[in-house]
Amino acid sequence: MKTKGIGIIGRVADGAELLDGQTVKTKILCEELKKTFPDRKVICVDTYQYKRRIFPILFDTLKTFGNCEDIFILLSKNGRKFFFPILNGMNFFCRRRLYHDVVGGALAEEAAESPALRKQLRRFEINWVEFSAMQDGLEELEIYNVEVLPNFKRLNVLPPGQISEIKTEPFAFTMFSRIIKEKGIETAAKAIREVNSRFGRKRAVLLIYGPVDNAYQKEFEMLLEEYQDFVSYGGCIPYQDSVKVLRNSYMLLFPSVYQGEGMPGTIIDAFSAGLPVIASDWHFNQELVREGKTGYCYKWQNPEMLVDKIIYAVDHPEKINKMRKFCLEEALKYTPEKAMEQIRERMERKEGKCS
């Protein structure tokens, strides 16, 4: 019998150069499946701008069900609402193995408000979430086909011998994410300004990298002008180059209050570069950042605490530099090899739905 292919339904946005978490995660999974299963054809149905391309996408989805026995699904909130009934409806007849690789961290909240969504989730082979707290939230809703599969990236983790110990001012704090208001850009800029104001000199600067959301463009430009003495924008960086760019920074700042935040890929980038993190305690950040080992968390409702954390960091470079080796060790938890081992084990189970 001819080996069937592997399908992926999610946003890859070929040609659009999107660097958001959903797109990057989908692209990485596609690349790793091709490496792990070189004898099987990997077919990707790109859901980018699906409302404008619905008929071609549905046609490609039908072909994917015809040619693939294992199908991975990576969709955000709106995509889940639209595609889940369609995919599970097709699967009622085709009996393929559908693996839902969850995008973002708000699925349990969405499911709590939607009996229809809970029903759809129970029909998948598995729902892979990024944190144990996310699994607990779904199991409280009696959704038990859930496993934790941490986010992962293929990065060149910095060798311990190449760690840069930074001891001189001004200390460079970096943000590396999609640039929208909810990611805390203004919160970070205000915190750096306050730190420098208290000491009467430039003890810290803020470097920002990432794609700017169109709706935030003008506001971001005004922010750069207002804080130009200590805030600068370095443009977009492909995730493959993140370690090279981040390694010379002092710490990563992640003051996000983005509603859909899951396991932020930017923190994995930071750990891979030996960079400790100061993050809000929003959603699951405390499960990812080990207090005093790989960074610090502060209460997101109290931005003044971010100022205090930054001041502590610039006052104690010996402690921050000591954290760098722990960050590199932590980065090894989020390698493609670990993730694909778990994925392969699930795919090879005999009790799957595909006959």
CATH of the domain at 201: 3.40.50.2000
Quote the longest CA-to-CA distance of the chain.
Answer: 74
pLDDT 10s digits, 292-314: 999 999 999 999 999 999 999 99
pLDDT grade for 3, boundaries at 50, 70 and 90: low
pTM as predicted: 0.86
Q: Which pLDDT band, with edges at 50, 70 and 90, does 350 fall under? A: low
**Residue 212 and residue 304 in one domain:** yes
For helices 21-36 and 336-347, the axis angle rounded to 10 degrees is 70
Confidence of residue 172 (pLDDT cuts 50, 70, 90): very high
pLDDT, position 16: 65
Strands 5-10 and 68-74, how do they pair? parallel
Cβ burial, residue 143 (10 Å; 0-12/13-18/19+)? buried
Please report which confidence band the pLDDT of residue 354 belongs to, taking 50, 70 and 90 as the band edges: very low
Question: Within this chain, do residues 46 and 24 fall inside the same structural domain, yes or no?
Answer: yes
Q: How far apart are the first and last CA of the chain?
A: 12
Reference 158, options 236, 265, 35, 245; nearest CA is 245
Quickly state the pLDDT bin for 18 (edges 50, 70, 90).
Answer: low
Pairing, β 42-46 against β 68-74 = unpaired
Q: Is residue 77's pLDDT more than 70?
A: yes
164 and 291 assigned to the same domain:
yes
Instruction: Report whether pLDDT(41) > 80.
Output: yes
In 3-state terms, what secondary structure has residue 332? helix
Do residue 187 and residue 273 come from a single domain? yes
Tokens of 49: 């701008």
Same domain, 139 and 212: no
Judgement on whether residues 172 and 320 belong to the same structural domain of the protein? yes
Give pLDDT, residue 149.
96
Q: Does 355 fall in a domain?
A: no
> What are residue 318's phi and psi, to 5 degrees?
-65, -35
Determine phi and psi for 46, rounding to 5 degrees.
-80, 115
Residue 342 lies in a domain: yes
Q: Which structural domain range is residue 71 located in?
A: 5-152+335-347
The percentage of residues in the chain with a pLDDT greater than 70, rounded to a whole number, is: 96
Least confident of 29-33, 218-222, 347-351: 347-351
Domain count, the chain: 2
**Residue 293: phi, psi to the nearest 5?**
-110, -50
